[in-house]
Amino acid sequence: MHGYEDAGLRRLDEPAGTGQASDSAAMRHAVERRDTGRRQTRRISGWAAAGLVAGVAAGAGYFAHAVPPAAVSTSSTAVQGTPGTAGQKPTLTHPVVTSGGSGVVAGTSGGSATSTGGSPASGSTVQWQDN
Amino acid sequence: MSGSAAALLPGRCQWRLAAADIVAVAERDALGTTARLAVWPASALPAAAGAVDSELDRLDRAASRFRPDSEVSRLHAMGGGPVDVSDALAEAIGIALAAAEWSGGLSDPALGAALVALGYDRDFAEVPRDRWDDTDALAPARLWQAWRSIRLTGCRVQVPAGVVLDLGATAKGLGADWSADAAMRASGCGGVVVSLGGDVAVAGESPRGGWPVLVADDHRLRARPAPARAATQLIRLSRGGLATSSITCRQWRRSGRTLHHIIDPRTGLPATGPWRTVSVAAATCADANAASTAAIVAGSAAPQWLGDRDIPARLVDRGGRVLHTGGWPVSDGGVLRPPEQRWLQLPAGLPRRIGGSRDPS
C-alpha cells in the first residue's frame, strides 16, 4: 500500500509529464483565485490592534482613550498593568494571549467542571485538582 | 503588512510607544485560525508583525494541505518519488517525524488520508458542519505506523503513494516558534509572545513575572466569565512554548456521528479517550504541540505517559475535572517552568532553521 514508485528525483517546480498542461492551467486558476482572495482578505483584516498595555497605570488609561476605536479588535480586552518606571520591563496582570484549541467551539467548553478528586493514574507527579 | 500594522498605532502618541513598559497586542486571521502577537516596547510592533507575516506565509506555502500550490500539495501530486523541498518544509516534516518517533507514533504526520476520508478535506471553515452520506466513509483507515515509510534526508523527501501528510500536530507550534524568533530578530524588541491558534511561543525577555497566559478549551477566549472560570487557568510563562490540543474545537458531524480533528493512528478515527483538552509546556512550542496531541491520543494512559517523562501538563477530562503532571502549577497565576531540553531532534544533516537563519543546536 505504501510502496514507493520507481521514480527519479524531481524538484517540485518541474513539470510532471503528459496531461500536465490542463492540470497546470487549473492550478494556476486556483492559485489566482486564492491569491486574489488573500489580497482582499488582507486588506479587510490584516493585523488588528487588540490593545496597548501600559506598565504605568496612568498610561494605560491614556492609551485606552487614544487608540482609535476602528483600529481595535472587537475581541480586545482591557488589560491593565501595574505601576512601573519607564525604561523597565513591563508588569502585566491580565493575560495577553490564550492557549487553547484552535477552531470553532462546538458547545462543550465552559465551566461544567465538577470534581471529587482522586487520581486514576499512578504517575508520581500527577495531581488532581477540584474545580 | 508592517505598514498596516504601523497604521494601527495612534500617531499622536507615537512618542510614548518607545517606552519599554508599554506592550502592544495585535491579532490577525492566519492559517485558518488566529495569530496573536504581543511585544514590548510597543514601538516594535510594526517590525515584529511584518516578521510574523513572513513566517506564517512561509509555513502556509510549504505545509498547507488545503492550498493547491503549496509544496506539500505538489509533493502529494508527484506520486511517491524523491523530491527536493524547501528548508521550511524539510524542517516541518523533520519535526513531525521526530515527534512520531519520540511519541511512539501517538503524534503521527501520515494521517492526512484519514482526515480526508472523514470529511476534513478543505479549510475547516468550509467543512460542512453536518453532513449525511454513506457511512462506509467512516470505516477506519489502516494507517498505523505509516509515518515510518516516509524518508527524509537533508531536504530530500520521499512520501509513498497513498500516504497523505498532515502536519497539524506540530506545524502550528513550529510556526509559533519561527514567528517569535523572527519577530525578536527583526524588531530588536525586549520580548515577544506569539500565539498561533492557541499554540504559544515566547522569545526575548518576558515582562516581570512572565507573560500572563490564559489556558482554556478555546484559544479565542479572552475574558473569564464566572461560569467558565473553573475550566480556565492563568499561568505565567517566561520561556519556551505552551501548546493546547482540544477535541472541543474543529468538530463536525457526519452521518450522525460527531467527529473531531485529532485522529488516533491506531484506529484511523477521532480519538475517544477521556480528555477534552490537554496543555503542555516545553522547550519549544513544537515540542509542546507534539506532546499535547499525543496525550489526547494516549487517552487513559496519558497521565502515566506524561508523568513518566516529567512533562508539565494540564489535562481536562470530558466532565471538566483537571489533572496536572510534571510540575504544572496548581494555583491560578502560577509560574509555568518548561523543561530546557528539547524533546524533538531533527535528523542529521537538517539543522533547525529558526527565523530565517540556521541554528545548529
Question: B357 falls in which pLDDT band (50, 70, 90)?
Answer: very low
Q: In the structure grid, which three cell numbers stand for residue A46, read together?
A: 490584516
Q: In the structure grid, which three cell numbers stand for residue B235, read together?
A: 499561568
Alpha-carbon torsion B137, B108, B284, B327, what sign? positive
Query: Which residues of chain A lie closer than 8 angstroms to B152, CB-CB?
Result: none
Q: Which pLDDT does position B19 carry in this prediction?
A: 56
End-to-end CA separation in angstroms for chain B: 31
Q: What is the pLDDT of residues B31-86, one digit of tens each?
A: 888 899 999 998 899 999 999 999 999 999 999 988 999 999 999 988 888 999 99
Amino acid at residue number A88: Q
Query: Which residues of chain A lie closer than 8 angstroms to B220, CB-CB?
Result: 75, 98, 100, 105
CA-nearest of A73, A93, A58, A67 to B19 is A58
B23–A77 CB contact, under 8 Å? no
ipTM here: 0.84
How would you classify the pairing of strands B211-218 and A97-101? Answer: parallel
Q: In the structure grid, which three cell numbers stand for residue B142, read together?
A: 489502516
Strand partners, A119: none
Q: Are A90 and A55 in contact (CB under 8 A)?
A: yes
Q: What angle do CA B127, B252, B241 make, to 5 degrees?
A: 90
Q: In the structure grid, which three cell numbers stand for residue B346, read together?
A: 531533527
A48–B28 CB contact, under 8 Å? yes
Per-residue pLDDT of chain A (131 residues; tens, 9 = 90+): 343 433 455 666 443 443 444 455 555 555 554 444 444 334 334 888 777 776 543 333 333 333 333 333 323 333 434 433 445 789 998 899 999 888 643 333 332 222 222 222 333 234 444 33
- Measured CA to CA, the distance from residue B94 to residue B345 in angstroms comes to 8
B248–A122 CB contact, under 8 Å? no
Selected residue with higher pLDDT from A32 and B320: B320
Q: What angle do CA A96, A100, A101 make, to 5 degrees?
A: 140
Query: Which residues of chain A lie closer than 8 angstroms to B316, CB-CB?
Result: 113
- Counting one residue from chain A and one from chain B, the pairs whose CB atoms sit within 8 A come to 371
Q: Are A70 and A43 in contact (CB under 8 A)?
A: no
- Pick from A73, A76, A92, A102 the residue to mutate for testing the B interface (most B CBs within 10 Å): A102
In the block, residue with C-alpha cell 505538489 = B74
Rg of chain A on CA atoms, in Å: 26
- Pick from A10, A24, A44, A47 the residue to mutate for testing the B interface (most B CBs within 10 Å): A47
- Measured CA to CA, the distance from residue A33 to residue A50 in angstroms comes to 30
Q: What is the pLDDT of residues B222-238, one digit of tens each?
A: 777 665 556 789 999 99
Amino acid at residue number A131: N
A103–B321 CB contact, under 8 Å? no
- Which residue in A has a C-alpha nearest to residue B318's C-alpha? A108
Determine phi and psi for A20, rounding to 5 degrees: -75, -30
B156–A9 CB contact, under 8 Å? yes
Q: Are B38 and A97 in contact (CB under 8 A)?
A: yes
- Measured CA to CA, the distance from residue B346 to residue B10 in angstroms comes to 43
B1–A46 CB contact, under 8 Å? yes
Q: What is the 3-state secondary structure (H, E, C) of A18-54?
A: CCHHHHHHHHHHHHHHHHHHHHHHHHHCCCEEEEEEE
B199-208 in b/e form (b: 16+ CB < 10 A) is: bbbbbbbbbb
Q: Are A38 and A66 in contact (CB under 8 A)?
A: no
pLDDT at B13 over 70: no
Amino acid at residue number B255: S
Q: Are B36 and B195 in contact (CB under 8 A)?
A: yes
CA-nearest of A99, A127, A128, A100 to A114 is A128
How would you classify the pairing of strands B322-325 and A97-101? Answer: unpaired
- Measured CA to CA, the distance from residue B82 to residue A9 in angstroms comes to 5
- Supply the pTM of this predicted model: 0.77
- Which residue in B has a C-alpha nearest to residue A112's C-alpha? B320
- Measured CA to CA, the distance from residue B184 to residue B180 in angstroms comes to 6
A30–B77 CB contact, under 8 Å? no
In the block, residue with C-alpha cell 487588540 = A50
B163–A3 CB contact, under 8 Å? no
Question: B276 falls in which pLDDT band (50, 70, 90)?
Answer: very high
